[in-house]
């Protein structure tokens, strides 16, 4: 990934006025739909401002399939459109670009029907040929592209039956094919790309810089206006197919600004001063202070929204001594998870001893697995056991340094990488490992570099959310530890939901076979539970990942300019502003003035 930097000069905040000063940026794409005003001339009441905390090193890459590409700067929420969306609140798979799907009785053939009138933002029709082209591209370039591993594994062939109908023939029964690949269990799904622009390109290197880089063509309700590493501005496409055909309301915001604001205090003050519309403080006390400053700020709910991605400490199981399950268990016993809850979340939230979020649909599996996890000691804080396990492997505690030293005289150390927004959890993990005698060090690295290094297995440990994905059933998240995802060190892994499947490169034949069996069963099949428990016992014994805590998200929605946000008492869809589901929020927001 290139290290292209934007010309960000200053962040000015004075008397309630927020401004980003940018150097020259590229202009509007020639074929983009006309919009009402030039950047910066749209009234505040017509502008949606969603700050981010990630500086994009390569802002000119608009190819969502290159591993490491950042898509949460608006590409995923404003431009790209999936065929379907999984709605956590209802449990339904709702149509988006597609209106319906059917499957053969044996679950080996799936037929998807596109909505009438789907169109790219340059005015060209979006048809079955575009979907077929995208799937075949992923097949051809597996495993080099995101999602290509799953497509290569499951799709035997794909064909366009007509302009609106796509037929997938699978390599075997897969009752989760649409949910897993075409709907997206968390942040994203496979999205079609326009054949007329991508054909003949090398998708492994294609940046998708259309018209000199200023406006990638997708099908969503917004087009790129300007961009740099530190701000992405989008303008509404008044000719968006979704509104023109009556499938969805035309979003009310004329412009969406997504600036990078590296300082948390500045970002939160922007929210209090009505210079942004949605953000998330890190603690309940920050949330309460902001609401006291600005009564127009509405929290998602009193205890926050539970993110589907519990925080974890991932160890690279190909690197000694972390290839030894005894040492992985030792580090797990060293984790005081309740202290992390108390410090990072001021006591709100919960500890975690597996990869599942505490969602209603997941509760039967959470309850059903507790005995297995408890017997294996997963989630238990016990420094004595941690010391015993480390010392059983020949390490001795050096009283001078306070660190363990191995038989060969080498200090027991671990290098932990994390993106900036994971710093609170990462620092707690480092502190607790230091307490037990491990010389732990933290390296905060930019998002794209983090994803690239962890995806290629070029790391020792990472604080992340490696098992994220199961929100209505256990297979999706658990299957991320299948050996099918393991690639050689230095080779990019297959990314799902913004991180790499099996980044720790753990390989277990029996576990993987159980995942294959579970994957052939329909959601809710009674045979899933016993297979789940068998697989869980292997996972708990081997401990390829170390669960830490659940992740409450303290979302605040500013109602000064926009109303009808997805809150706990108005939960029409999951609320994060950085996922594909925000497309639905955009169609539901209403002007306050």
pLDDT at 35: 35
The two tokens of residue 325 are 């399950």
Q: Say how many C-beta atoms besides its own lie within 10 A of residue 312's C-beta.
A: 25
pLDDT at 88: 85
Nearest to 574, CA basis, from 44, 94, 169: 94
First-to-last CA distance in the chain? Answer: 43
Nearest to 543, CA basis, from 329, 366, 317: 329
The two tokens of residue 103 are 């499957």
Asked whether 304 and 358 are in contact (CB, 8 A), the reply is no
pLDDT at 40: 54
**Beta 297-299 vs 545-553: how paired, if at all?**
unpaired
Containing 285, the helix (H) or strand (E) segment is: helix 284-293
Distance CA 33, CA 251 (A): 15
pLDDT at 209: 72
> Which residues have CB under 8 Å from 65's CB, separation 6+?
137, 138, 145, 146, 147, 148, 193, 203
Distance CA 158, CA 131 (A): 9
pLDDT at 2: 30
Distance CA 306, CA 570 (A): 16
DSSP string, 294-328: -TTEEES-TT-EEEEEEEEEEE-TTSTTTTSHHHH
Distance CA 427, CA 440 (A): 10
> Which residues have CB under 8 Å from 116's CB, separation 6+?
164, 245
| Cα atoms in the Cβ-side hemisphere of radius 13 Å centred on 120 | 22
DSSP string, 185-245: SSS-------HHHHTTS-TTT----TTTTT----SSSEEEEEEETTEEEEEE-TT-HHHHT
DSSP string, 152-193: HHHEEEEEEEETTEEEEEESS--TTHIIIIII-SSS------
Asked whether 455 and 370 are in contact (CB, 8 A), the reply is no
> Which residues have CB under 8 Å from 408's CB, separation 6+?
none
Asked whether 252 and 136 are in contact (CB, 8 A), the reply is no
pLDDT at 496: 58
Asked whether 531 and 490 are in contact (CB, 8 A), the reply is no
> Which residues have CB under 8 Å from 50's CB, separation 6+?
74, 256, 257, 258, 276, 277, 278, 279, 577
Asked whether 404 and 396 are in contact (CB, 8 A), the reply is yes
Asked whether 340 and 289 are in contact (CB, 8 A), the reply is no
CA–centroid distance for 36 within its chain: 32
Containing 439, the helix (H) or strand (E) segment is: strand 439-444
**Residue-wise burial string across 337-362, b where 16 or more C-beta atoms lie within 10 A, e elsewhere:** beebbebbbbebbebbbbbbbeeebb
pTM value is: 0.81
pLDDT at 501: 87
Q: Which phi and psi angles does 211 have, rounded to 5°?
A: 55, 60
Distance CA 541, CA 328 (A): 10
CA–centroid distance for 226 within its chain: 24
Distance CA 464, CA 425 (A): 9
DSSP string, 319-360: STTTTSHHHHHHHHHT--HHHHHHHHSTT-S-B-SSS----G
> Which residues have CB under 8 Å from 569's CB, separation 6+?
301
Q: Tens-of-pLDDT digits for all 593 residues of the chain?
A: 333 222 222 222 222 222 322 222 223 333 333 333 344 589 999 999 999 877 888 888 999 998 878 888 899 999 999 999 999 888 889 999 999 999 999 999 999 999 999 999 999 999 999 999 999 999 999 989 988 988 998 999 999 999 999 999 999 999 999 998 999 877 789 999 999 999 999 999 999 876 554 568 999 999 999 998 899 999 999 999 999 999 999 999 999 999 999 888 899 999 999 999 999 888 899 999 999 999 999 999 988 999 999 999 999 999 999 999 999 999 999 999 999 999 999 999 999 999 999 998 899 999 999 999 999 999 999 999 999 999 999 999 999 999 999 999 999 999 999 998 899 999 999 999 999 999 999 999 987 789 889 999 999 999 999 888 898 899 989 999 999 889 899 987 766 555 688 999 999 999 999 999 998 898 889 999 999 999 999 999 999 999 999 999 999 999 999 999 999 999 999 998 888 999 999 999 999 97
Q: Is 387 helix (H, G, I), strand (E, B) or coil?
A: helix
List, in sequence order, every beta strand (DSSP E) within 363-438: 396-397, 404-405, 413-418
**Beta 165-170 vs 155-162: how paired, if at all?**
antiparallel
């Amino acid at each position: 990934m290139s290290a292209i930097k934007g010309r960000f000069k200053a962040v000015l905040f004075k008397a309630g006025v927020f401004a980003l000063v940018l150097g020259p940026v590229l202009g509007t794409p020639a074929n983009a739909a006309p919009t009402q005003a030039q950047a910066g001339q749209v009234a505040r009441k017509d502008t949606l401002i969603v700050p981010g905390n990630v500086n994009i090193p390569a802002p000119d890459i608009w190819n969502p399939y290159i591993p490491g590409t950042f898509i949460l700067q608006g590409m995923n929420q404003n431009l790209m459109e999936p065929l379907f969306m999984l709605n956590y609140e209802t449990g339904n798979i709702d149509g988006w670009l597609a209106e319906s799907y059917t499957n053969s009785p044996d679950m080996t053939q799936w037929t998807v029907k596109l909505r009438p009138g789907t169109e790219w933002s340059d005015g060209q029709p979006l048809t079955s040929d575009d979907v077929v082209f995208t799937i075949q591209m992923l097949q051809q370039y597996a495993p080099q592209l995101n999602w290509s591993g799953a497509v290569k594994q499951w799709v035997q062939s794909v064909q366009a039956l007509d302009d609106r109908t796509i037929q997938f023939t699978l390599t075997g029964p897969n009752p989760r094919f649409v949910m897993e690949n075409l709907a997206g269990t968390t942040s994203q799904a496979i999205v079609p790309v326009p054949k007329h622009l991508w054909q003949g390109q090398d998708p492994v290197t294609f940046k998708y810089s259309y018209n000199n880089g200023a406006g990638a063509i997708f099908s969503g309700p917004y087009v790129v206006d300007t961009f740099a590493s530190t701000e992405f501005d989008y303008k509404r496409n008044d000719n968006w197919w979704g509104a023109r055909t009556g499938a969805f309301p035309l979003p009310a915001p004329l412009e969406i600004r997504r600036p990078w604001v590296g300082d948390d205090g500045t970002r939160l003050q922007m929210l209090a001063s009505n210079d942004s519309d949605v953000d998330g403080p890190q603690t309940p006390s920050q949330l309460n202070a902001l609401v006291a400053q600005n009564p127009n700020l509405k929290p998602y709910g009193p205890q926050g929204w539970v993110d589907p991605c519990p925080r974890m400490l991932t160890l690279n199981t190909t690197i000694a001594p972390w290839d030894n399950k005894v040492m992985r268990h030792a580090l797990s016993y060293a984790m005081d998870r309740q202290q992390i809850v108390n410090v990072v979340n001021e006591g709100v939230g919960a500890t975690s001893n597996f990869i599942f979020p505490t969602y209603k649909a997941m509760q039967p599996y959470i309850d059903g697995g507790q005995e297995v996890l408890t017997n294996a000691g997963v989630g238990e804080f016990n420094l004595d056991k941690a010391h015993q396990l480390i010392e059983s492997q020949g390490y001795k505690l050096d009283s001078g340094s306070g660190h363990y030293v191995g038989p060969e005289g080498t200090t027991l150390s671990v290098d932990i990488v994390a993106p900036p927004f994971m710093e609170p959890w990462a620092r707690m993990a480092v502190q607790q490992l230091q307490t037990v005698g491990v010389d732990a060090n933290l390296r905060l690295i930019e998002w794209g570099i983090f994803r690239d290094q962890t995806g290629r297995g070029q790391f020792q440990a990472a604080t992340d959310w490696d098992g994220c994905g199961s929100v209505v059933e256990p297979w999706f998240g658990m299957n991320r530890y299948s050996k099918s995802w393991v690639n050689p060190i230095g080779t990019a892994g297959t990314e799902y939901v913004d991180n790499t499947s099996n980044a720790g490169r753990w390989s277990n034949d029996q576990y993987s076979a159980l995942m294959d069996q579970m994957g052939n069963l329909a959601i809710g099949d009674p045979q899933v539970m016993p297979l789940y428990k068998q697989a869980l016992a292997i996972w708990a014994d081997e401990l390829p990942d170390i669960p830490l805590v659940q992740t409450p998200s303290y979302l605040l929605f500013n109602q000064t300019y926009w109303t009808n946000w997805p809150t706990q008492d108005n939960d029409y869809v999951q609320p994060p502003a950085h996922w594909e589901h925000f497309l639905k929020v955009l169609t539901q927001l209403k002007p306050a003035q």
